[in-house]
């Protein structure tokens, strides 16, 4: 199992680089740079990270194919690989409907979102091939329709963390012929040794944002549809996320984030590893400070050491 840290593109590039350098020192395998319409451009952040690190893998995404053309995405990856080597992976997807709407980009295509994504994937692959670049391409999805096409990618990144939801998604994808296909999760996270209420409140907001962008099918299956629809109406009428957070069930934290004391992380990782999950990205607010990054790294080290010890005993 590989582990990644999601960076917060609301921070300055200097802050992001400093925290990524720390993550690399602590042995974290990946850093993932999300691309959100109102934040820093992900390839620019990835370039700064690559210039200041040596071996940590760098994930770009989720990059919305409704915000960037396939050729733009492929050429950005090609430029990064040319400058810094094959340390990059890519995750594409539709993107968050509410965030895209906020910048005037409709999440719609006449042939359907799924077909548009598959077309975009082909264009990206063709451009990468012409540029002689190799890059793993993930699909960032949530609902059943997108899960159906994920087997045509190198892997699928889910943005929920609850084991039953993960199992449901894995079952929806079904059998995949490709041996190198991977299941992963990219979730809001707070793994802690010393609990901090301020960071917990950031987790509540982050989890709420994911829930607000969740597919109708997922929300209905979780009995959250009515509450989330009410919250969306408040947002449409000018309310802020912070002002409606108390109207969003705390259940969203359990469903859409990894929220655990460090001593319980190993049990959780062991459980989801049995569901074919081989890639876990701990998203905001886990990167809140160097302290929270270190707490995560220590918990991951304990889990890895215990797993190796058990494997040695069984051989």
Question: Is the entire prediction scored with pTM above 0.95?
Answer: no
Percent of all residues in the chain with a pLDDT value above 70, rounded to a whole number:
92
Question: What integer pLDDT is reported at residue 122 of this predicted model?
Answer: 96
Amino acid 184: pLDDT: 96
Work out the percent of the chain whose per-residue pLDDT is above 90.
61
The predicted pLDDT at position 109 comes to: 60
Token digits for 83?
A: 């400058």
Q: What is the pLDDT of residues 6-41, one digit of tens each?
A: 987 778 999 999 999 999 999 999 999 988 766 678
| d(C-alpha 134, C-alpha 137), whole Å | 9
User: In angstroms, rounded to a whole number, what is the distance separating the alpha carbons of residues 191 and 195?
Assistant: 9
Q: Among 66-75, 155-164, 171-180, which stretch is predicted with the lowest mean pLDDT?
A: 171-180
User: Region 141-168: what's the mean pLDDT?
Assistant: 91
Query: Is domain 2-191+259-313 classified as CATH 3.20.20.30?
Result: yes
Q: Is the peptide bond before 285 cis (omega within 30 degrees of 0)?
A: yes
Listed by start position, the domains of the chain span: 2-191+259-313
């Amino acid at each position: 199992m590989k582990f990644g840290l999601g960076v917060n593109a609301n921070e300055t590039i200097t802050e992001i680089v400093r925290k990524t350098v720390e993550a690399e020192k602590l042995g974290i395998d990946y850093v993932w740079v999300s691309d959100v319409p109102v934040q820093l451009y992900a390839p620019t952040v990835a370039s700064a990270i690559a210039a200041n690190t040596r071996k940590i893998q760098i994930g770009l995404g989720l990059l919305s194919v409704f915000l960037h053309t396939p050729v733009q995405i492929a050429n950005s990856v090609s430029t990064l690989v040319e400058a810094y080597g094959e340390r990059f992976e890519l995750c594409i997807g539709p993107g968050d409907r509410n965030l895209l709407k906020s910048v005037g980009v409709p999440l719609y295509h006449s042939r359907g979102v799924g077909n548009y994504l598959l077309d975009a994937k082909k264009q990206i692959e063709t451009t990468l091939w012409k540029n002689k670049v190799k890059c793993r391409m993930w699909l960032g999805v949530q609902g059943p329709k997108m899960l159906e096409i994920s087997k045509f990618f190198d892997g699928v990144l889910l943005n929920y963390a609850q084991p039953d939801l993960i199992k449901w998604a894995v079952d929806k994808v079904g059998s995949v012929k490709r041996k190198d296909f991977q299941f992963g999760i990219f979730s809001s996270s707070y793994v802690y040794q010393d609990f901090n209420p301020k960071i917990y409140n950031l987790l509540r907001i982050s989890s709420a944002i994911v829930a607000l962008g969740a597919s109708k099918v997922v929300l209905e299956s979780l009995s959250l549809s009515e509450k989330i629809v009410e919250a969306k109406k408040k947002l449409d009428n000018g309310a802020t996320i912070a002002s409606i957070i108390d109207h969003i069930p705390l259940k969203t934290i359990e469903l859409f984030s990894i929220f655990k004391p460090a001593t319980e992380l190993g049990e959780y990782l062991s459980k989801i590893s049995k569901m074919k999950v081989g890639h876990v990205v701990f998203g905001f607010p886990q990167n809140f400070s160097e302290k929270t990054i270190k707490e995560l790294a220590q918990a991951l080290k304990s889990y890895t050491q215990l797993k190796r010890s058990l494997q040695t005993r069984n051989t």
